[in-house]
């Protein structure tokens, strides 16, 4: 587990940033989503991308981003 990832997630939570959790190939080489993130953001949408490496290629993910109403985003994978 990366300390930097958790530190950035803590900042996002502190500043109440819209958060969308997503993974690609959770059962494959990329592994599952870090459990600490699911615990930190239990009410955030979770979007599993079946094989799509680029999150922007997933329509459900793009729709979730647009639903936040924000025009900038930070994507951590």
pLDDT digits (tens, 9 = 90+) for 17-55: 999 998 887 777 777 888 899 999 999 999 988 888 888
pLDDT tier for residue 70 given thresholds of 50, 70 and 90: confident
Quick check: 49 and 28 in contact, CB under 8 A?
no
Question: How many whole angstroms separate alpha carbon 65 and alpha carbon 63?
Answer: 5
What domain range includes position 53?
Answer: 3-67
Residue 15 included in any domain: yes
Residue 76 included in any domain: no
Residue 40 in tokens: 């930190």
In this prediction, residue 67 carries a pLDDT of 92
pTM score, whole prediction: 0.79
Of 27, 34, 24, the C-alpha closest to 58 is 24
Question: How many domains does one find in the chain?
Answer: 1
């Amino acid at each position: 587990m990366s300390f930097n990832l958790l530190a950035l997630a803590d900042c996002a939570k502190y500043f109440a940033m819209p958060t969308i959790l997503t993974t690609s190939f959770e059962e494959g080489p990329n592994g599952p989503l870090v459990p600490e993130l699911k615990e930190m953001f239990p009410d955030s949408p979770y979007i599993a991308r079946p094989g799509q490496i680029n999150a922007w290629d997933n329509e459900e993910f793009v729709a979730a981003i647009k639903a936040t109403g924000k025009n900038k985003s930070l994507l951590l994978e």
